[in-house]
Amino acid sequence: MNLLKRGMLALALSWPAILFAQDDKALAPVSRTYAIANVNIVQAPGRKIDMGTVVLKDGLILFVGKNVSIPADAIIIKADSMYVYAGFIDGLSRVGVTKPKEESQGGSQQQRPKDPGNPKPEEAGITPQNDVRSSLNPADKSVAEFRNIGFTTAHVVPYGGMMPGNGAIVLLGGRTADEMVLVNKSSFYSELTPAQRVYPGTVMGVMAKYRELYRQAALSRSYENMYAANRSGIQRPATDRVLESLYPVVDKRQPVLFKAEKVTDAQRVLTLQSDLGFTLWLAELKEGWDIVNKVKASNAKVFLSLDLPEDKKDDTPARKKEEVEKNDKPKTAADVEKEALEKRKADFTAKYIGQAAVYQKAGVKFGFSTINVKASNIPSNLRRMITAGLSEDAALASLTTVPAELLGLSDRLGTVDNGKMANLVISDKPYFEEKAKVRYVFVEGNLYKLEIKEAKKGDPNAKVDLAGEWTMTTETPKGKNDETLTIKKDGNNFTGTVSGGRLLKPVDLEEVILDGNALTLRYTVNYDSQNLTVTVDAIVEGDTFKGTASIADLGIFPVEGKKNPK
Amino acid sequence: MAALLITINTVAQVERGSLLIKNGTVLTITKGTLENTDVLLKDGKISQIGKNITAPAGINVIDATGMHVMPGIIDAHSHLALDAVNESTSPVTAMVWEGDDLNPLDVSMYRAVAGGVTISHAMHGSANAIGGQCQTIKHRYGTVDPKVLMMEGAPRTIKFALGENPTRVHGNNGQGMVPNTRMGVEFVIRQAFSEAKEYMGAWSKYNSAKVKKGFRGAPPKYDLRMETLAAILRGEIIIHCHSYRADEIYMMLNVCKDFGIKRLVFQHVNEGFKVAPELAAFGAMASVFSDWWAYKFEVYYSTAYNATILTRNGVITSINSDDAELTRHLYHEAAKTQKYGGLNDEEALSLITINPARQLGIENRVGSLEVGKDADLAIFKGHPLSVYAIPVVTVIDGVVKFDREKDVDDMRIYVDPKQTIDVADAAFEEHGAHNHDACMKNAEFLLNVKMSDLNR
């Protein structure tokens, strides 16, 4: 064994953390030193180094700059012309948090609560003693989903009612819940969510209960202090897990992280804050454009929702047909009215998208929150906000420097600087470009490499005989699934069916497009009483095809086809 | 303790305007009817009523020649602009407050304004013997700030309920607890007040001990429900009590006498005519429907003469809507008392102006056209008690909130981008179908736009 190998072995043994399973690969990296070479470094919004190098060691950023000497043990990431950013930080999230079974609130559905005005705190959604760490699962698929679009840190909270429990700031990596945690009990998470069938059963009930608990906690806190100073001769304070959990809030040592999406709810939360005086972090705000000054005056830390309403483009064939028929007829009063109503809806969709730009203009610093959004929609939603007037620098700041500052982590997170934690995202193009893809993510120096499947280009001049019967095999996590594809040629078009496999009866192909030898199929299957659209993209070569099947938003899976002999 | 209870209310930004209304027939309610008279509104208040007032520079003028100018209509029983009406989980829910779930985006408020209604009493529902606290709101439609709706300085009010509703919700057919009967309702109310007295006693004992030097001891448990009940006993909150039968109304008078409570308004009070002298002797007031009854067993014994009988017995009486649609034509509801009972114009109009103002404790601010009062008024084409009356302009705090000439079809403040619009449903409605089933839910706003078209 030569010296170098021995050194590596010693290295491996001294850092057990590198034995992390990464992307299901059991092998640990041979070194925890990485050099990302020839990369465009966006250290922070507005601070860039063209074609520099970032060196990471033991989970920290060692060097950033040009003319950096690369350590001998470094694994070199060839990120030529790629872009590296500080890992993104999510201000309110349930990434990796397991949802409890539906029974925690209000007792079981059949049983009528006995005295609904005086439920146990747990039945009323009042569980502030809970800790998100108990329901954190690093193997949850959301962890990888969010990491794959660049998030490395998230402020996660437990599920529950009006007071679900303590939040924690976690890294999107690690083998156990405890390993994920960066800051424990970082917030006292709250919602205006009423309990079911017991008090508080309405939003006004939640408001009243919140006030009452807070005031009770303040009183019992001061009595406890009095008791602690001299315990002789006075009654022992009663213990109470709910009120005790509120003490850090009453003492202003722990902020209240309050979810409020609607303009009405956000103002209710601001009312509670001004009535009670707690430190407020307002998160998942969606309708905040009209109350920006009020929010600013409250000094609350703000996290805007990354969930946006869809741009409604109803271009189903039926709708198109309707349009064509409409154009032939004079407009009725109902048509005019409907157009006006649709326009107002579009105007409001624009307001939701423009919220971030409104906050930027008003000079309110904000991070983002993701508790309602699918990871796959986040990059496009960010682009929509940018198109609506949010600057790219502000968008990046809201993903990195601002949440780091708001969460009190600026010394460790938010920029690509020497000494910070090695939380990085590397994309092949500037992140906010539509075609940008995240290629590598580092979470505390651990590398997650993203496989990019380059779609095979079809040959537009190829001649393919598609008609006939094919066996199509899809590889899903549940195993291989064989289906029979029957395609008929009808003039220049194709029609057909899919049958067999897990399908109970044959399903018509809604779309068969053959461009040269590039084949696209679309059909809908009903599974668990849900309609799932399947899109197959494949390249046909002779009597076989190879490609991918994307099944609704469940994922993209490899697919192969083989023509059955006649 | 006191420091804990002080709430720091951020001052809501209320818009106040100035306006000159020329040459109308001014129905002051308290100071007679003035022909060809001008009303000058300045910074949200009535600053002058008289002849030939010249408009100060920069003030808009409304020519009310041939029209009637009356105080803004006040609805003493409403559930407009609320996200939740009933916290029905307990027979006593005095801790909750409708001010906490006001929804300024509720377009029903604009429709009420279009019927001349400028103030309503946003009430908790009648599921509980002691329900939640209510909130008097001004229909300052166009804001997203719930605090702007709250009428500044209006006294606190609370909903109580007697009879079938609380017994049905909480009794043997509901949650299986007290109250299951009318006696149970009385017991629940008496018990709540008795507990509140104990609570007050415990706190006053603690507070007086606390100031003594070297005091060490635990405070009583803070209880928001008891805090509210104590405020009722101290006379800081007006009770608005849902009631129908004479026996239970009389019972409630006795309960209040026993606990020294003086501020009491009965709501609905269909059998109020049977105990009118008793109500008058107590000083309790009554807010009634004009002619609505028989919707449940306890509401069968009723008469359209109720408002008149109560008025003639010296009970301060109002006519309310309890309904987002009915509120739009409360002036017609008031006019019915001229058919049934022959009230004069001033008495009939008092039922929807100064009398509900008295019941809400805001009569020094609104309810009549007098110098110094809030600039809330409604201008009608035709006399407001005429069946041909048409509300044309409604003013709140000197700001025009409804103008028939400039009435926009879609007055919603916020639009849900996910809402579906089904014009087919609207067409169905036009052909005479009813509007009360859930399938019409997403088209309701559309239907009402259509209806306003028909009215024009």
Asked, for residue A241, whether it belongs to a domain, the answer is no
Helix or strand holding residue B402 (H, E):
strand B399-403
Token pair of B287, please? 């807010």
Q: Do A268 and B101 touch (CB under 8 A)?
A: yes
CA angle A389, A391, A393 (to 5 degrees): 170
Count of other CB atoms within 10 angstroms of residue A94: 21
Contacts of A458 by beta carbon, 8 Å cutoff, 6+ apart: A515, A516, A517, A518, A539
CATH classification of the domain holding B42: 2.30.40.10
> Which among A197, A208, A348 is the nearest to B417, CB-wise?
A348
Read off the CATH number of the domain in which A1 is found.
2.30.40.10
d(CA A296, CA B413): 22
Question: What is the predicted ipTM?
Answer: 0.91
- Residue in B with minimal Cα distance to A231: B216
- Is the same domain home to A75 and A177? no
Q: Do A212 and B105 touch (CB under 8 A)?
A: no
**Interface probe, candidates B10, B92, B103, B222, chain A, greatest A C-beta count within 10 A:** B222
Question: Which of B337, B361, B385 is at the close of a domain?
Answer: B361
DSSP assignment string, A149-187: TTEEEEEE----SSB-EEEEEEES--SSHHHHEEEEEEE
Q: Which domain holds residue B94?
A: 73-210+219-361
Instruction: Report the gap between the CA of A362 and the closest CA in chain B (Å).
Output: 18
* pTM reported for the whole predicted model: 0.84
Asked if residue B179 has a cis previous peptide bond (ω within 30° of 0), the answer is yes
User: Is some CB atom of chain A closer than 8 A to the CB atom of B146?
Assistant: yes
Question: Which among A204, A215, A345 is the nearest to B417, CB-wise?
Answer: A345
Residues of chain A positioned with their CB less than 8 A from the CB of B10:
274, 294, 297
Contacts of A274 in chain B (CB under 8 A): 7-10
B408, B437: one domain: no
Cα(B81)–Cα(B103) distance, rounded to whole angstroms? Answer: 5
What residues of B are in contact with residue A213 (Cβ under 8 Å)? none
Tokens representing residue B109 in the block: 């408020």
A 159-198: CB under 8 A from B: 197-198
Tell me, yes or no, whether A207 lies in a domain. no
A212 within a domain of the structure (yes/no): no
Residue A447 lies in a domain: yes
Residue B195 lies in a domain: yes
Q: Is residue B2 part of a domain?
A: no
Residue in this structure with the two tokens 């899903």, named with its chain if needed = A476
Residues of B in contact with A334 (CB under 8 A): 423, 426-427
Gap from A207 CA to chain B (nearest CA, Å)? 7
Helix/strand/coil for B157: strand
CA–CA gap between residue A34 and residue A447 (Å, rounded): 9
CA distances from B402 to A220, B24, B42, B142, B424 (A): 51, 18, 18, 11, 30
Domain CATH for A519: 2.40.128.20
Pair (A9, A54) in one structural domain = yes
Query: Which residue of B87, B228, B428 to mutate against A (max A Cβ within 10 Å)?
Result: B87
A22 and A52 assigned to the same domain: yes
DSSP output for A351-365: HHHHHHHHHHHTT--
Q: Where are the beta strands (DSSP E) in A457-529?
A: 468-476, 479-490, 493-499, 507-508, 511-515, 518-527
Q: Show the CA angle centred on residue A461, arms to residues A459 and A464, nearest 5°.
A: 85
Say whether both B187 and B328 belong to one domain. yes
Q: Domain total for chain B?
A: 3
Same domain, B191 and B332: yes
What's the total number of domains in chain A?
A: 3
Residues B31 and B127 in one domain: no
In a shared domain, residues A185 and A283: yes
User: What is the C-alpha separation between B356 and B374, in angstroms, rounded?
Assistant: 15
Nearest neighbour of B218 by CB, restricted to A201, A235, A309: A235
User: Is A239 part of the contact surface with chain B (CB cutoff 8 Å)?
Assistant: no
The residue segments making up the domain with residue A60 are 1-86+414-452
Residues 213 through 232 of chain B touching chain A, CB cutoff 8 Å: 216-219, 221-224
pLDDT tens string, chain B, 456 residues long: the values are 334 444 444 457 899 999 999 999 999 999 999 999 999 999 999 999 999 999 999 999 999 999 999 999 999 999 999 999 999 999 999 999 999 999 999 999 999 999 999 999 999 999 999 999 999 999 999 999 999 999 999 999 999 999 999 999 999 888 889 999 999 999 999 999 999 999 999 999 999 999 999 898 999 999 999 999 999 999 999 999 999 999 999 999 999 999 999 999 999 999 999 999 999 999 999 999 999 999 999 999 999 999 999 999 999 999 999 999 999 999 999 999 999 999 999 999 999 999 999 999 999 999 999 999 999 999 999 999 999 999 999 999 999 999 999 999 899 999 999 887 665 555 444 444 333 333 333 333 333 333 333 222
